[in-house]
Amino acid sequence: MAQDIPSADLVLTGTVITVDEARPRVEAVAIGAGRILAVGSAADMPVGPTTRVVELGERCVLPGFVEAHGHAVAEALLFGKGSVVDIRAASMDSAEAVLAAIRAGVANGRELMYGWDPLSFPDLPLAGQDFLDRLAPDRPLVVVHHSGHLAWYNRESGRRHGIDRHTPDPPGGRYGRDAHGEPDGAAYGIEAITEITSPTGPPVGRRDALPPGLADTLARMSAVGLTMAGEMACLPPWRDALLDPARRPAPSTRLRLYEPASAVLRSTGRPDAGDDLIRQNGIKVWVDGSPWAGTIAVSFPYLDTELTHRLGRGKRPHASTNYTWDQLAEVVEAYFPHGWQLACHAHGDLAIDMILDVYESVLSRYPRPDHRLRIEHVGAMRPDQFRRAAALGVTASVFMDHVYFWGEVLTDELFGPKYGARWAAAGSAVAAGMRISLHNDPPSTPENPLHNITVATTRRSRRGRVLAPEERLTVTQAIRAQTLDAAYQLRADDITGSISPGKYADLVVLSADPYTVAPSEITDLDVLATFLAGEQTHGDPL
């Protein structure tokens, strides 16, 4: 034992995958005072009289997983106390069940339904104002699309919110209108949805307190091996509560906070406020919308299918973004020179061109080493765009579950195999030299890092189709994207993301070594234990 290393509190021996290029695989890891003390052979561990030594056997230790793009507070608001009716495909088994849940919710006085998914249930009626009026003729009713980028409201909701032909569109969002300029009951973008839901309640209403279910949400994240997550739409009241140690929930997951760009283009917070557990990182901007709502900015045409006609698109390119170039540049320039990290949602290739242009412009005038500017989801991002982003030092967070849950929809219903099969092209991103993360964007799809690794390494959909196998990641690349490189994107790779001396002991114990099973079976491994700073937050005691 080295003389300058104190005795460990805990030593785990067996298979340790460090995600540290200097020593990628070791026999043991020593933990003390919440930190990694040593990695290496079991004989070299700093064992003292009070050290507890655990032999792992077939079990395997990895760095704790990182969800770089999530919405923990919104999840807790949505599903913590039953104030919102959950109609997601993960909770329903048919269109009839969705409609029955909405009717029951209306009968029980609920005004907000979340998770409308006509892609999973094609026999759902066309959502719209007349349809919602029939379900709730005398009380407000809002139904939010599962993507969170589109909602529909009935006439009573519009009346109570004062939405009429004279109501201006909020920055970064818009209200749907008919040929005469009258509101048609659709709300596009986070700001418009916020306006139509805020007095009604969650998911995106302005709240002045954290939901009581947040601790349970963080504990559930710990149960799938997550030790850090990005909170990607953190409203200022939530931010203030989370940064206050007296008001935040019991720690089980580190959080990095990104607040939406405000209409006044400034924040009442400051970059890097907080501590290693919860810290404010940056600003979130939505450049375009969702492929499932037909609101992304793409240069290529949609297919001519029943689904695209239901989305109001048909066979034509759709170039709509939430901002003009000048508007987006104004938003980025309002924050970036003051030290903020920007995270910009962009699915379509035209939206990605726009944000890369803006990033390049602002970096040329306000150069900042190690800025780690982000692009979120990157569904239709091309290889040349990945190369350009890598040259600018921009990072990408890839939404892999689009391939799994909606692979056939992308290729058969929306964009065809040329564009749809290459969706979420993680292989091209890594080949371009980018450091990427994988995410689930909960509550759109549940947090499941092991599932992400399987999808990234197989590119296999839920129905068994393999999409663009050339875009597969290796197991090593996928694990990095769910650990160290995700922590890098959250500006936390100096304290977590790999099992390296000096970093926090944020660890996950799996039932087996992921390199010893087929990539398709990684998703079936069990998370036996999760540690945050050396304290076990999930699983039976080791």
What pLDDT sits at residue 368? 95
What pLDDT sits at residue 116? 92
User: What CA–CA distance (Å, rounded) separates 224 from 509?
Assistant: 10
User: What CA–CA distance (Å, rounded) separates 505 from 161?
Assistant: 49
Angle at 475 between CA 416 and CA 220, to 5 degrees: 90
Could you give the 3-state DSSP secondary structure of residue 243?
Answer: coil
Show Cβ contacts of residue 329 under 8 Å, excluding neighbours closer than 6 positions. Answer: 358, 361, 362
- Determine what percent of the chain falls in helix, strand and coil, rounding each to the nearest 5: 30, 25, 45
What pLDDT sits at residue 206? 42
Tokens of 97: 């069940």
User: What CA–CA distance (Å, rounded) separates 347 from 404?
Assistant: 17
Could you give the 3-state DSSP secondary structure of residue 431?
Answer: helix
Predicted structure pTM score? 0.88
What pLDDT sits at residue 119? 82
Nearest to 152 by CA among 143, 160, 165: 143
Task: Give span(s): CATH 3.20.20.140, the chain.
Answer: 207-489
Measured in degrees and rounded to the nearest 5, phi and psi for residue 236 equal -50, -40
Could you give the 3-state DSSP secondary structure of residue 352?
Answer: helix
What pLDDT sits at residue 3? 54
Helices 383-392 and 349-365 cross at an angle (nearest 10°) of 20
Q: Are the C-beta atoms of residues 58 and 512 closer than 8 Å to each other?
A: yes
**221: enclosing H helix or E strand:** helix 214-223
User: What CA–CA distance (Å, rounded) separates 193 from 206?
Assistant: 11
What pLDDT sits at residue 81? 59
Task: Give span(s): CATH 2.30.40.10, the chain.
Answer: 10-63+503-538
Indicate the residue type of 10. Answer: L
CATH topology of domain 10-63+503-538: Urease, subunit C; domain 1 (2.30.40)
Nearest to 344 by CA among 310, 277, 389: 389
Distances (CA, A) of 394 to 177, 265, 360, 425: 36, 22, 10, 16
Q: How many residues does the chain have?
A: 542
Cα 206 to chain centroid, rounded: 20
User: What CA–CA distance (Å, rounded) separates 150 from 145?
Assistant: 5
What pLDDT sits at residue 201? 45
What pLDDT sits at residue 203? 42
Measured in degrees and rounded to the nearest 5, phi and psi for residue 32 equal -155, 135
What pLDDT sits at residue 1? 45
- For 84-197, CATH number? 3.10.310.70
What pLDDT sits at residue 483? 98
- The correct answer on CATH 3.90.1150.10 for the domain covering 207-489 is no
Query: If DSSP states are collapsed to H, E and C, what string results for 142-208?
Result: EEEECCCCEEEECHHHHHHHCCCCCCCCCCCCEEEECCCCCEEEEEECHHHHHHHHCCCCCCCCCCC
Nearest to 144 by CA among 182, 179, 105, 93: 105
Give me the tens of pLDDT residue by residue for the chain, a chain 542 residues long.
Answer: 445 789 999 999 999 999 999 999 999 999 999 999 999 999 999 999 999 999 999 999 999 999 999 999 888 877 765 678 989 887 888 999 999 999 999 999 999 999 998 888 888 988 889 999 999 999 999 999 888 878 999 999 999 999 999 999 987 688 999 999 999 999 987 778 878 876 544 444 444 578 888 999 999 999 999 999 999 999 899 999 999 999 888 889 999 999 999 989 999 999 999 999 999 999 999 999 888 878 899 999 889 888 787 766 666 656 688 899 999 999 999 999 999 999 999 999 999 999 999 999 999 999 999 999 999 999 999 999 999 999 999 999 999 999 999 999 999 999 999 999 999 999 999 999 999 999 999 988 889 999 999 999 999 999 999 999 999 999 999 999 999 999 999 999 999 999 999 999 999 999 999 999 999 999 999 999 999 999 999 999 99
Show Cβ contacts of residue 397 under 8 Å, excluding neighbours closer than 6 positions. Answer: 68, 69, 343, 374, 375, 376, 377, 378, 436, 437, 438, 439, 486, 489
Task: Give span(s): CATH 3.10.310.70, the chain.
Answer: 84-197
Nearest to 359 by CA among 426, 412, 429, 285: 285
Indicate the residue type of 363. Answer: L
Distances (CA, A) of 430 to 379, 395, 491: 15, 10, 19
User: What CA–CA distance (Å, rounded) separates 289 from 320?
Assistant: 9
Cis preceding linkage at 199, omega within 30: no
Tokens of 49: 């009289």
